């Protein structure tokens, strides 16, 4: 749940949690120079499931100070800096996998400080790749219809800042075909609607 408060040339977003998607949206909204700030609030429920939302009423100065704690821009690094951590054979594996992911309709690659994200818009990221010294660690989003006949994925718990459901590794060119089978499911789940 979010509420956007727009004043002048700035936007304040009052929201229940700050996630990767929100950060992408903030980055997108701020492209034209608009000052965008995200501030979380807390929600409590009693035994009758009545909700209470707790937030602080701010003066303009206090609001700006609080927003600074929760608003940040993604640090981006060139892909080659990620690849510097690994050997040449894994660089080739990443290059092939990345090209195949980017060949899906409207997919863009965004290189962050610690991973590379694949998305069709700031709210529709479906896959990330972390380049480790000995493998590619792939995180995906999926739904209940997800199928992994070979059992290579492991379920992971979502957090407010990491909203992926499964993880698996890719170590060689031979792994790419099945990896793309899994990644296409994540793409269809998040972006095929």
Q: What are 157-173's pLDDT values in tens digits?
A: 888 778 899 999 999 99
In Å, the largest CA–CA distance within the chain is 59
User: Residue 31 and residue 26: Cα distance in Å, rounded?
Assistant: 9
Architecture of the domain delimited by 79-191: Alpha-Beta Complex (3.90)
The more confident residue out of 145 and 85 is 145
If we measure between CA atoms, which residue out of 120, 112, 101 comes closest to residue 162? 112
The Cα 27–Cα 141 span in angstroms is 21
Position 33 scores a pLDDT of 59
**pTM check: above 0.75:** no
Name the residue with higher pLDDT: 73 or 102: 102
- Cβ-Cβ contacts under 8 Å for 91 (sequence gap 6 or more): 83
Whether pLDDT at 103 is above 70 = yes
- In the chain, where does the domain assigned CATH 3.90.1150 lie? 79-191
**Per-residue pLDDT tens for 9-60?**
466 666 666 666 677 777 666 666 566 666 667 777 777 777 766 666 556 6
In sequence order, which residues have a C-beta less than 8 Å from that of residue 131 and are 6 or more positions away? Answer: 82, 83, 85, 86, 90, 94, 116, 137
> What is the pLDDT, as a whole number, of residue 58?
59
Q: Does residue 62 have a pLDDT over 70?
A: no
């Amino acid at each position: 749940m979010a509420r956007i408060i727009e004043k002048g040339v700035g936007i304040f977003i009052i929201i229940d949690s700050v996630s990767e998607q929100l950060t992408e949206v903030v980055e997108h909204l701020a492209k034209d120079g608009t000052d965008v700030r995200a501030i979380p609030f807390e929600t409590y429920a009693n035994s009758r499931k009545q909700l209470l939302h707790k937030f602080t009423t701010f003066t303009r100065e206090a609001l700006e100070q609080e927003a600074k704690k929760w608003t940040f821009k993604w640090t981006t690094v060139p892909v080659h800096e990620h690849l510097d951590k690994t050997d040449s054979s894994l660089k080739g594996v990443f290059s092939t996998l990345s090209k195949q992911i980017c060949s899906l309709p409207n997919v863009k690659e965004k290189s962050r400080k610690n991973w590379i994200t694949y998305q069709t818009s700031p709210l529709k990221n479906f896959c990330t790749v972390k380049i480790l010294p000995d493998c590619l660690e792939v995180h995906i989003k999926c739904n209940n219809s997800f199928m992994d006949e070979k059992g290579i994925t492991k379920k992971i718990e979502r957090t407010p800042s990491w909203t992926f459901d499964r993880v698996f590794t890719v170590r060689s060119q031979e792994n790419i075909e099945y990896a793309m089978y899994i990644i296409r499911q994540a793409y269809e789940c998040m972006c095929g609607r």
